[in-house]
Amino acid sequence: MGGAAAPPHGPVVHVVTADEQARHCPECGTQARRSKGRRVTRPRDLPVGGGRPRLVWTKRRWRCDEPACKRRSFTESVPAVPPRKRLTSRLRAAAGAAVADQGRTIVQAARDHDVSWPVVAAAFTDHAHTVLPAQPEPVQVLGIDEIRRGRPRWVLDAATGVWQTAVDRWHVGFVDLSGRQGLPGQVEGRTAQTVIDWLTDRDPGWRDAVRGHLDRR
């Protein structure tokens, strides 16, 4: 499915940090007084006036002089651009909301906002966590089915030398067969323990409300 073309580049905007809180060590909160120099970053933001501004942010790197603090130095950050992030918070939020509230696919939202698929997927997850209740509504008949998604990924455990699954291609979906919730939950894996863990995370009242289940695994 196609998406809108990326907006053209807008003006170059040079940014400096005005928030005094950015000088406080994120580990101990001590205000830094000695600089270790400057660093230039180029975070990406939402389009403005039909074009995407090119931000050039000159940040300071500070020394933490608190003897008891393990953090010896840090680079400025602000809530609008968290540490080690290349996108502004509002750009990430807009990409996640495009999927959750506007019905776009993750691929389409990535094209519309000129970001990668994983960025939008993570932004959508963050958005969902803020708007969804901690527990789904009670379900009387619970459907349990497995879904194959993509390819597995493996990582080598340095301690044991054994390859372990980092991303499982199988997911288990939990479906509300008696109500209107659709898919209250989906988790990675396909084992019985995967199902047990998801059900254990529900409160006792929720589990007691289930009168039947359909397992198609």
Note down pLDDT in tens along the chain; length 217 residues.
Answer: 444 555 667 889 999 999 999 999 999 999 999 999 999 999 999 988 878 899 999 999 999 999 999 999 999 999 999 998 999 999 999 999 999 999 899 999 999 999 998 999 999 999 988 888 878 889 999 999 888 766 767 677 778 877 776 666 788 899 999 888 888 888 888 888 989 999 999 999 999 999 876 666 5
What pTM value is reported for the model? 0.66
Q: How far is CA 179 from CA 135, 140, 144, 152, 195, in A?
A: 15, 8, 15, 33, 20
> How far is the C-alpha of 154 from the C-alpha of 162, rounded, in Å?
10
pLDDT attached to residue 1: 43
pLDDT attached to residue 4: 56
Residue 50 burial (C-beta neighbours within 10 Å; 0-12, 13-18, 19+): exposed
Helix (H) or strand (E) holding 98: helix 89-100
pLDDT attached to residue 51: 84
The candidate with the shortest Cα–Cα distance to 168, out of 147, 143, 192, is 147
